[in-house]
């Protein structure tokens, strides 16, 4: 497998993202991987490598600039305040990764998808709401709210899948219901998969490091099921 750093500018920051792909005779579908609030840590890198191993060109995207990883959850969330306040900033960082990936000769620019974890899932959804020409978006335990749900969703071109823990305290029932209304009213091709007995960060084996088991906890079952659902959507969207 080949790996290399892609450096680009986005939202006034120097982003250093990591590209993974297996050598091939021609371009193939690409996938953006947006990380949790911590930034470009091993979780995002391992998922990008895993995508590359099944035939995609995957870009694990920088979140905070200069490939920063912020280990303290409170500090990491604090760094996102400006992005929550202004979705245009989130979209700028997401779009920077899209442009960098689409420019690669290994990638079929007409077949690009995006996945994200926690805030990274929010980034992927905001990229879709920006009207980006992408085929599919998958959000794993991703925030679903946005600033202008009644208008921006109409720009979505991608097929949407969100995979949510049924007991996730950060994504309450009301937020799920508002997201459903947003997608339905805009005529989006969307799915929401809920996993019982599952909270936030269920894809991250290191979720226990936050020491908040009632809010953040790994679930091998939900992780496996949601990854399979992602693969099924990609097979359909990239066909």
Q: What is the CA radius of gyration of the chain?
A: 16
Q: What is the CATH number of the domain that holds 162?
A: 3.40.50.1820
Successive 10-residue mean pLDDT values, the chain, 239 residues? 97 98 93 97 97 98 96 90 92 98 98 98 97 98 87 95 97 96 97 98 94 94 98 97
In this predicted structure, what is the pLDDT of residue 151?
A: 85
Which range marks the domain in which residue 126 is found?
2-237
In this predicted structure, what is the pLDDT of residue 150?
A: 75
pTM of the model: 0.97
Q: How many domains does the chain have?
A: 1
Nearest alpha-carbon partner for 160 in 142, 143, 139: 139
- Whether 187 contacts 221, CB under 8 Å: no
Rounded Cα distance, 38 and 22, in Å: 27
Rounded to an integer, what is the distance from CA 37 to the centroid of its chain? Answer: 11
**Lookup: tokens for 136:** 């599919």
């Amino acid at each position: 497998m080949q790996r290399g750093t892609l450096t680009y500018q986005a939202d006034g920051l120097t982003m250093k993202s990591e590209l993974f792909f297996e050598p091939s005779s021609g371009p193939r579908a690409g996938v953006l991987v947006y990380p949790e609030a911590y930034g470009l840590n091993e979780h995002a890198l391992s998922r990008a490598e895993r995508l590359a191993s099944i035939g995609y060109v995957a870009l694990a995207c920088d979140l905070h600039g200069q490939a920063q990883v912020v280990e303290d959850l409170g500090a990491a969330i604090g760094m996102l305040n400006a992005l929550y306040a202004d979705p245009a900033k989130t979209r700028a960082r997401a779009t920077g990764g899209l442009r960098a990936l689409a420019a690669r000769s290994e990638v079929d620019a007409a077949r690009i998808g995006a996945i994200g974890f926690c805030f990274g899932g929010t980034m992927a959804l905001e990229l879709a709401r920006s009207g980006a020409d992408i085929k599919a978006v998958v959000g794993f335990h991703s925030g679903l709210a946005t600033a202008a749900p009644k208008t921006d969703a109409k720009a979505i071109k991608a097929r949407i899948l969100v995979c949510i823990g049924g007991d996730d305290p950060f994504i309450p029932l009301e937020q799920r219901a508002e997201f459903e209304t947003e997608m339905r009213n805009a005529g989006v091709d969307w799915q929401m998969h809920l996993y019982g007995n599952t909270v936030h960060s269920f894809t991250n084996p290191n979720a226990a490091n936050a020491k908040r088991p009632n809010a953040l906890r790994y679930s091998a079952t939900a992780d496996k099921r949601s990854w399979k659902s992602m693969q099924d959507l990609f097979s359909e969207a990239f066909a």
